[in-house]
């Protein structure tokens, strides 16, 4: 049974569709494969022979995969490419997030230190105050963006482990 | 009579599926059984090749599918039930007309070749 599940999964991966649709394709192909398997098992009585005959009846896997690849709609192609692109980008998300947080904090810390000193001494150059506030805003934006990227990366990781 | 296989069916499979779905909704395996029954055993179709055709028809909006409610003891494997849409019915009627025209035209030529007119 595992063999047929693997086979259905292998065929479904050829379909250039989003992951949800691919799961549906796999489930549908598996339902058909299991129905053939039951027929063949009842006829032959041998599970291995039944699996082999099931695959033969279902057709040449290369041809099927080629046909499935070309059967997707335009929207499904987009979903497929978006997910593939997201998969590649997802691997770099940790690095992008960590860099964003580090660079952001690199702006935030000196700006906070300067503004704190300014508040304590109650004096300072207005130009420097403006620059510090700008750096603080930019730094916070970068750090928050980086943290969001890190969080999204963690969610993706948990989701993929659960799947 | 020779069997009719993949290459000969190419280009006609979609219309054949529409035609068998006209008699009522069905899942993939049932569509295949209806095709085999209607073809009196002459149609030799690899069962998996039905699905790319079904997905093409679905993408074109000619058929729609819903998941069946129960697995019916098939170890959790659910099937999708396909039915013809209104657009599918219109397309089927057009494809039938085109087929009749094709058969009339080609039949006239082949028929003429098989039975040459006497001079």
pLDDT tens readout for residues A46-70? 888 999 999 999 988 898 898 888 8
Residues A95, A101: Cα–Cα separation, whole Å: 10
Binning pLDDT at 50, 70 and 90, where does residue B119 land? Answer: very low
Residue of B10, B46, B52, B62 best to disrupt the A interface, most CBs of A under 10 A: B52
Chain A contacts of B27, Cβ < 8 Å?
31
Task: Calculate the alpha carbon distances from B20 to A132, B8, B71, B102, B115 in Å.
Answer: 74, 18, 23, 21, 35
**Cβ-Cβ contacts under 8 Å, A71 against chain B:** 51-53, 55-56, 59
Report pLDDT for B74.
57
Angle at A126 between CA A125 and CA A130, to 5 degrees: 120
Give this prediction's pTM.
0.69
Looking at per-residue pLDDT, the higher value among A94 and A43 belongs to A43
Rounded to the nearest integer, the mean pLDDT of chain B is 84
CA distance B109 to A65: 38
User: DSSP assignment of B35-77, as one string?
Assistant: HHHHTTT-B---GGGHHHHHHHHHHTTSEEEEE-S--TTSTT-
Residue B7, CB half-sphere, CA atoms under 13 Å: how many? 0
Sorted by sequence, the CB contacts under 8 Å of residue A16 that are 6+ apart come out as A69, A72, A76, A77, A80, A81
As given in the structure block, the two tokens for residue A2 are: 């595992």
Q: How far is B16 from chain A (nearest CA, A)?
A: 17
pLDDT tens, A64-96?
Answer: 898 888 887 777 777 777 777 777 777 777 788
Average pLDDT, chain A: 85
* Span A114-126, pLDDT tens digits: 888 877 776 667 7
Q: Of B27, B52, B77, which has the smallest distance from its Cβ to A67's Cβ?
A: B52
């Amino acid at each position: 049974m595992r063999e047929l599940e693997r086979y259905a999964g292998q065929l479904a991966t050829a379909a250039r569709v989003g992951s949800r649709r691919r799961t549906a394709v796999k489930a549908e192909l598996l339902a058909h494969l299991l129905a053939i398997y039951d027929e063949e098992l009842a006829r032959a009585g041998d599970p291995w022979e039944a699996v082999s005959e099931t695959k033969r009846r279902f057709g040449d896997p290369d041809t099927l995969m080629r046909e499935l690849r070309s059967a997707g709609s335009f929207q499904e192609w987009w979903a497929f490419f978006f997910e593939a692109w997201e998969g590649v980008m997802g691997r770099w998300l940790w690095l992008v997030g960590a860099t964003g947080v580090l660079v952001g904090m690199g702006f935030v810390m000196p700006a906070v230190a300067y503004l704190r000193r300014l508040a304590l001494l109650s004096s300072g150059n207005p130009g420097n105050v403006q620059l510090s506030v700008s750096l603080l805003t930019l730094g916070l934006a970068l750090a928050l963006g980086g943290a969001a990227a890190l969080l999204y990366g963690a969610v993706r990781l948990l989701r993929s482990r659960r799947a | 009579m020779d069997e009719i296989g993949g290459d000969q069916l190419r280009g006609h499979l979609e219309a054949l599926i529409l035609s068998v779905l006209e008699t009522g909704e069905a899942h993939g395996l049932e569509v295949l059984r209806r095709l085999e029954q209607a073809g009196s055993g002459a149609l030799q179709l690899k069962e998996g090749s039905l699905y790319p055709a079904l997905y093409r028809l679905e993408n074109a909006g000619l058929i729609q599918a819903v998941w069946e409610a129960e697995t019916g003891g098939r170890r959790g494997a659910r099937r999708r039930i396909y039915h013809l849409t209104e657009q599918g019915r219109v397309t089927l009627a057009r494809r039938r007309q085109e087929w009749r025209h094709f058969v009339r035209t080609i039949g006239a030529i082949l028929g003429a070749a098989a039975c040459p007119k006497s001079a």
